[in-house]
Amino acid sequence: MKENEWKNAVVYQIYPKSFNDTNGDGIGDLPGIIDKLDYLKDLGIDIIWLSPFFPSPMADNGYDISDYQGIEPSFGTMEDMDRLLEEADRRDIRIVIDLVLNHTSDEHDWFKESSASLDNPKRDWYIWRSGDENGEPPNNWRSNFGGSAWEWDERTNQYYLHVFDKKQPDLNWENKEMRQAVYQMIHWWMEKAVAGFRVDAITYIKKNKEFPSFEADGSDGMVTIDKGSLNQPGIKKHLQELKEKGFRHDEVFTVAEAPGVPADEIEDYIGEHGFFTMLFEFDHVDLDLTASAKWYEMKEWTVHDFKKPLFDSQRRLQEGWSALYIENHDQPRSLSRFIQEGFRHTHSAKMLAAVYFLMKGTPYIYQGQEIGMTNVEYPDISSYNDAVSRHQYDYALANGCSEEEALAFIWKRSRDNTRTPMQWDASHQGGFTEGSPWLETNSNYPEVNVETVKAAPDSLYTFYQKLIAFRKHAKAAPIIEKGAFQALLEEDDHIVAYKRTYEDQEITLYANFTAERVPVSFDEESRQAIVSNNDGLGPESAWMEPYDFVIFSNVDYEW
Ligand code: GLC
Ligand code: CA
């Protein structure tokens, strides 16, 4: 993909398990994606990011891969994949796949060999250590999915390291042969004509070689593994090699999931000589988490917590480029997350869309976001599939929360909030499956579904279509692509506002990010409002109603 191609693109993320089931087994599949390509074309997107579809025991819904070069049987076959690539290409849609390089499944052949004996040639492909003098884990690192990051393996009487689930052993990036095998796998997919890669959890691949214990940050005596495994010194050598030997060409599109990159190092990661095309940053979505990321300690957030990291990132970018998003398969639904109860309607959903779409970067839409899907509230923890949710629930109970309290945090934060089946129409299970879905459908599907939303006047779906068309239009595209970014009303406690300027043209956005009616004074006398979610808003307006937004511009554009 050439630079001008991804800069003008909009990406749509598909979580295959929950997108569309064609054979009634309750699990989304590749033929189901093919069936919806026309829908995606109609929406106006250019690139599909496919979450993992490789063979997997599904301990982490596909992020635990047991064969990098195959297809999970419940999702389909390699022929289905080839057909998907072909059919997408026919519609001028590119496919970007997920590369999970920090770990494999414990059921991957590599790990089976590695764990077989101390002298197996692949022993060193993973991270093995003996216990301490009492036979306890080598250090006090807590895995991201809860409990010790070390799992005892009695075949060889050693522990292996896992940053995530115990079924996701970490690959040892210090091993050259392992790296070589990973690069070959990447080349294989490139030959299959995938257009690029979303690179999973990549800032975890380098570990602190001493594997020291650190001061505990929880009642379990453990410490977040980020301390010894996130963005550690020396990681850049690996990333540079991944770029040169793995991706090889500059034209491979790569978007890295890269928590923990310090602001002043972003330049090394992206931009002309960076390791990746663009990065997902986290601060604007993790605004309700404390450093230890325990959900039961969730904190209140303000408009500043949302806008400051985004604005800082936009300013920092200068020549770089960003991955813009408000939802994905790890985050709650944006409507439920950012909008107060009672206001979660098309009106506020349009504001959320407008707020991030005009920044410098490539916007991502997560499946269902375009129709305003919301969080789910299962009445019991047993309905949850997400490993993190189950761990966070136990953790909350162990730290004194009642079951009701613990569940309330799961409702807010669970990754299952965005993993419920896609809602296509008002029929059985929202049209996702003819059978019973692997994860309960959100009960609001009779109202919130593609068919119903599309048929409504001024729908959210249509708004996304128009936003996409606007970004790409010859009049707006240069401003979005090259325009300088200037934050407006930065100190304001309610309004998110910014201006993009290119030559003598500009686009300005004002959004009331709160449920309050607030006074405002637009500095836009000579400009016209090209679109808003409140027809009464114009350059002279003195108030914004809850969740209003307006876009001003001096380009002559017919919305
Ligand atoms: C990334 C994925 C997440 C997964 C984790 C481990 O954060 O987005 O879904 O659980 O990596 O692979
Ligand atoms: Ca299926």
CA-CA-CA-CA torsion sign (394, 149, 18, 454): positive
- Residues with Cβ within 8 Å of residue 386, at least 6 apart in sequence: 414, 415, 416, 419
Give yes or no for residue 325 CB within 6 A of ligand 1: no
531 DSSP β-pair partners: 551
Mutate to test the pocket of ligand 1, among 200, 386, 389, 417 (most ligand atoms within 8 A of CB): 200
99 DSSP β-pair partners: 199
Residue 399: closest CA among 215, 224, 217, 225:
217
Give yes or no for residue 63 CB within 6 A of ligand 1: yes
- Residues with Cβ within 8 Å of residue 64, at least 6 apart in sequence: 56, 57, 58, 103, 104, 105, 106, 107, 165, 167, 168
- The predicted pLDDT at position 272 comes to 77
257 carries an active-site annotation: yes
519 DSSP β-pair partners: 543
Q: Please give the structure tokens belonging to residue 268.
A: 């090394």
Q: What is the pLDDT of residues 56-97, one digit of tens each?
A: 999 999 999 999 999 999 999 999 999 999 999 999 999 999
Query: 417 by DSSP, 3-state: which?
Result: helix
Q: Please give the structure tokens belonging to residue 546.
A: 């809850």
CA-103 nearest atom, ligand 1: 12
Report percent pLDDT > 90 for the chain: 93
Residue 24 has pLDDT above 80, yes or no: yes
Residue 482 to residue 476: CA distance in whole angstroms = 10
549 DSSP β-pair partners: 511
Give yes or no for residue 201 CB within 6 A of ligand 1: yes
Residue 115 to residue 109: CA distance in whole angstroms = 10
161 DSSP β-pair partners: 150
250 carries an active-site annotation: no
CA-415 nearest atom, ligand 1: 9
Phi, psi dihedrals of residue 460, rounded to the nearest 5°: -65, -40
- CA separation, residue 213 to residues 148, 204, 208, 225, 290 (Å): 12, 17, 11, 10, 21
- The predicted pLDDT at position 525 comes to 67
d(CA 331, ligand 1 centre) in Å: 11
Give yes or no for residue 100 CB within 6 A of ligand 1: yes
Q: What is the pLDDT of residues 219-249, one digit of tens each?
A: 899 999 999 999 999 999 999 999 999 999 7
- Residues with Cβ within 8 Å of residue 262, at least 6 apart in sequence: 231
370 DSSP β-pair partners: none
Residue 353: closest CA among 331, 339, 329, 369:
369
Which of 60, 64, 165, 257 does the annotation list as catalytic?
A: 257
d(CA 75, ligand 2 centre) in Å: 6
Q: What is the pLDDT of residues 27-37, one digit of tens each?
A: 999 999 999 99
Residue 126: closest CA among 111, 144, 105:
111
pLDDT class for 488, splitting at 50, 70, 90?
Answer: very high
- The predicted pLDDT at position 526 comes to 66
Q: Which amino acid is at 501?
A: T
Residue 159 backbone zone (phi > 0: left; psi -120 to 50: alpha; other: beta): beta
Give yes or no for residue 386 CB within 6 A of ligand 1: no
Cβ atoms 410, 336 nearer than 8 A: no
Cβ atoms 33, 40 nearer than 8 A: no
Q: Which residues surround ligand 2, an ion (CB under 5 A)?
A: 21, 23, 25, 27, 29
11 DSSP β-pair partners: 47, 364
Q: What is the pLDDT of residues 296-353, one digit of tens each?
A: 999 999 999 999 999 999 998 877 899 999 999 999 999 999 999 999 999 999 999 9
170 DSSP β-pair partners: 103
510 DSSP β-pair partners: 497, 550
pTM over the 0.75 mark: yes
Residue 461 to residue 365: CA distance in whole angstroms = 11
Residue 271 backbone zone (phi > 0: left; psi -120 to 50: alpha; other: beta): left
Mean pLDDT, the chain, integer: 96
